[in-house]
């Protein structure tokens, strides 16, 4: 058991554990450069940013930039979501035009219009499971999962009562038609690399 495990155990037993406390610990840890760190359901998750992973993120951001100003787009920025201790650093996030940061300098999940997660082997279960549920509970209108291992993308829309009612899965090369959503454009996937 590590010192961090001891602190988490102590905090959980005294009901003092918060996302701010956990992220404070992470800021003091020697996390290797190039690792994405987030908290999913109270579990600290770290995954390396692979070249393929980053190329897909960049491609999505580049396509979104054709329509949206840079200030509305972000990657790996902490946003806290509904559920127990969910502080996500989403691969791609589109924020509403009228959104403002809170007094802590953070965006609110109610202002998120689009989320894209690019699958990493070690954290894929989070993207398909608890993160999908948290995004649906937060009423994020459009959630896209891009899986470079299978060469497929999975689009989730129409959140209601903690689940997405609209789901579509197709292959890399098939366009992602978001014209009927708040995003309002088509994302091309023919240049998405595979792992």
Inter-residue contact 17 to 4 (CB < 8 Å): no
pLDDT of residue 11: 41
Inter-residue contact 152 to 169 (CB < 8 Å): yes
pLDDT of residue 26: 77
How large a percentage of the chain has pLDDT more than 90?
Answer: 66
Q: What is the mean pLDDT of residues 166-172?
A: 98
Give the separation between CA 35 and CA 58, rounded to whole angstroms. 16
Give the separation between CA 161 and CA 84, rounded to whole angstroms. 17
């Amino acid at each position: 058991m590590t010192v961090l495990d001891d602190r988490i155990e102590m905090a959980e037993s005294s009901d003092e554990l918060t996302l701010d406390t956990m992220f404070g610990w992470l800021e003091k840890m020697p996390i290797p450069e190039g690792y994405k760190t987030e908290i999913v359901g109270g579990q600290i998750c770290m995954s390396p940013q692979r070249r393929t992973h980053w190329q897909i993120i960049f491609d999505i951001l580049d396509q979104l930039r054709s329509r949206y100003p840079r200030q509305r787009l972000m990657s790996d920025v902490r946003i806290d979501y509904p559920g127990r201790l969910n502080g996500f650093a989403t691969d791609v996030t589109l924020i509403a035009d009228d959104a403002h940061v809170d007094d802590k300098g953070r965006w609110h999940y109610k202002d998120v219009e689009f989320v894209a997660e690019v699958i990493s082997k070690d954290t894929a279960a989070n993207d398909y499971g608890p993160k999908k549920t948290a995004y649906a509970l937060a009423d994020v209108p459009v959630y896209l999962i891009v899986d470079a291992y299978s060469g497929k993308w999975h689009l989730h829309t129409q959140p209601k009562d903690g689940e997405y009612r609209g789901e579509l899965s197709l292959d890399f090369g098939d366009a992602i038609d978001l014209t009927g959503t708040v995003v309002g454009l088509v994302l091309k996937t023919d240049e998405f690399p595979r792992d």
